[in-house]
Amino acid sequence: MDETAIPPSESVASLSVSAPPPPQTSSSQMSLEERFRIVRSVGEECIQEDELLNLLEKKPQPVCYDGFEPSGRMHIAQGVMKAINVNKLTSAGCKVKIWIADWFAQLNNKMGGDLKKIKVVGEYLIEIWKAVGMNLEGGQVEFLWSSDEINSRANEYWPLVMDIARRNKLPRIVRCCQIMGRNEQDELTAAQIFYPCMQCADIFFLKADICQLGMDQRKVNVLAREYCDDIKRKNKPIILSHHMLPGLQQGQEKMSKSDPSSSIYMEDEEAEVNLKIRKAYCPPQVAAGNPCLEYIKYVILPWFNEFKVERSPQNGGDKIYKTLEELAVDYESGELHPGDVKPALAKSLNKILQPVRDHFKNDANARELLRRVKSYKVTK
C-alpha cells in the first residue's frame, strides 16, 4: 500500500454531514419536524432518533442506502414496501442509493454463483421498481451495481474492507451472517465470511448517512457504527430498519423465495394472488401474528390510505377502515371475519400489481427478463 495514501479509517472519519444544497424539491416547504416524521415512519427501529433529527437539520439532502442481492423473483415486500419507503424518503428531501449487490449474490452462491444470471435478475428488479410506481423523477433515486462501482473505485473500496476486517475478530463477523439468510451454525464458505466486511464497507463507500435496510440487516449496520467508534468518527450512519413482512403460512417469520406459497410475487397473476390469499393463515379473532393483517398494515393502508371491505347488507354491509387499530377491534370481536378480510385484501393487492403485470406483458424487454428469471433455479 502507498505510504503517502490516506488510510481508509482517516478518509472515512473525515466525512461530515455538510453538503452542497440539493435541487429544489417539495421537501423545501416542509418543516424539520414534518421531514423527521416522514423519514422516521419508514423504520420499525431507529438508531438513533436524535442523530436523525440533527442530520435532517444540518444536511438538506441526506443519503440513504439499501441493498439487494439479485437472487430470484421479487416478492411484494421488496417491490411495494420498498417503493412506499423510497417515495417517503425522497418526498422528505433524501437521496436514495439502491445497491444492486451482484457480487454479493455471487459470494452468497445465489443463482449457483453465475454472475450472468445474477445480472439478469438485477435488471428484472429495476424493471419492477419502475413499473410499480417508485418515484424516479428528479434524480433522487440512483441504481448502482456493486461490481461496476467497486471496479471503478477499487483503490478506495478494498483498503476500507481490509481495515474493517483487520479491526474485527472472526466471531463478531460470523454473528453478522444473518444478513445473508444464514445462521451461525451454518457451514460458511470463506466468501461468506468476507461478505459482512464488504457490506459494512459499502455504507462508507456510498457515503450513506442512513442505512435503510430491513431488520434482518441490523447486525452489520451496528458493526458499521462500532467501526466509527474504532476510527473515532463522530458522525455515525443512522440505522433505520424497516419491518420484515412475514410469510403467508403459519409460523413463517419472513417470506421465502424457495417457497412460492409464502409470498405474493410482483408479477403474480390475479388468480394466483386470489389463491395464495385464500390459503393464507388468518385465524379468526386473532390479530397478533396474523399475516393477512400485516399485509393490510404495511402494504394496503400506506398505499391506499384505507382498506375497504365489501359485504352484503345481511353480513354487515361495506366498511372502510383508515387504521389497523380500528380494523383489529372489529376483527378480534368477531364482527370482521377472515371471509370478509381475504377477498378485500386480494382485491387491493391486485389493484397495486396490475400495472406491473401490464408492463411485463406489453414491454418486450421486461417480458424476456421475466421469462429468463422464471427459468432459473433458486439456490439457498
pLDDT in tens, 317-336: 899 999 999 999 999 999 99
Q: Let me know: does 346 contact 278? Beta carbons within 8 Å.
A: yes
Angle at Cα 112 formed by Cα 256 and Cα 100, nearest 5°?
70
- If asked whether residues 50 and 137 sit together in one domain, one would say yes
CATH code, domain carrying 352: 1.10.240.10
User: Residue 182 and residue 212: Cα distance in Å, rounded?
Assistant: 20
3-state DSSP assignment of residue 62: coil
In a domain, 256, yes or no: no
In a domain, 258, yes or no: no
Residues in CB range of 26: below 8 A, 6 or more apart: 91
- If asked whether residues 328 and 199 sit together in one domain, one would say no
pLDDT in tens, 138-196: 899 999 999 999 999 999 999 999 999 999 999 898 888 766 666 656 677 888 888 89
Question: Quick count: other Cβ atoms within 10 Å of Cβ 238?
Answer: 27
- If asked whether residues 208 and 324 sit together in one domain, one would say no
Comparing C-alpha atoms, which of 173, 159, 157 is closest to residue 3?
159
Q: What is the pTM of this model?
A: 0.87
CATH code, domain carrying 178: 3.40.50.620
Cell numbers linked to 275: 389463491
In a domain, 204, yes or no: yes
Comparing C-alpha atoms, which of 44, 104, 76 is closest to residue 247?
76
In a domain, 358, yes or no: yes
In a domain, 156, yes or no: yes
User: Residue 102 and residue 363: Cα distance in Å, rounded?
Assistant: 24
Residues in CB range of 291: below 8 A, 6 or more apart: 245, 246, 247, 248, 249, 252, 280, 281, 282
Instruction: Supply the pLDDT for residue 29.
Output: 84
- If asked whether residues 294 and 219 sit together in one domain, one would say no
Question: Which of 198, 226, 241 lies at the terminal end of a domain, its last residue?
Answer: 241
User: Residue 180 and residue 194: Cα distance in Å, rounded?
Assistant: 11
Question: Which of 202, 221, 241 lies at the terminal end of a domain, its last residue?
Answer: 241
Cell numbers linked to 185: 451454525
- If asked whether residues 188 and 290 sit together in one domain, one would say no
3-state DSSP assignment of residue 67: strand
User: Residue 232 and residue 271: Cα distance in Å, rounded?
Assistant: 56
- If asked whether residues 303 and 192 sit together in one domain, one would say no
- If asked whether residues 73 and 211 sit together in one domain, one would say yes
Comparing C-alpha atoms, which of 210, 217, 206, 221 is closest to residue 39?
210
Instruction: Note the maximum CA span of the chain.
Output: 81
Ranges of residues in the chain with a pLDDT under 50 are 1-25
Instruction: Supply the pLDDT for residue 244.
Output: 92
In a domain, 42, yes or no: yes
- If asked whether residues 281 and 170 sit together in one domain, one would say no
Instruction: Supply the pLDDT for residue 22.
Output: 35
Instruction: Supply the pLDDT for residue 148.
Output: 96
Instruction: Supply the pLDDT for residue 313.
Output: 87
User: Residue 354 and residue 326: Cα distance in Å, rounded?
Assistant: 28
Residue 361 is part of which domain span? 270-375
Question: Per this entry, what is the length of the chain?
Answer: 380
In a domain, 235, yes or no: yes
Count of domains for the chain: 2
- If asked whether residues 178 and 304 sit together in one domain, one would say no
User: Residue 304 and residue 344: Cα distance in Å, rounded?
Assistant: 13
- If asked whether residues 202 and 311 sit together in one domain, one would say no
In a domain, 6, yes or no: no
Instruction: Supply the pLDDT for residue 108.
Output: 86
- If asked whether residues 169 and 282 sit together in one domain, one would say no
- If asked whether residues 229 and 302 sit together in one domain, one would say no
3-state DSSP assignment of residue 95: strand
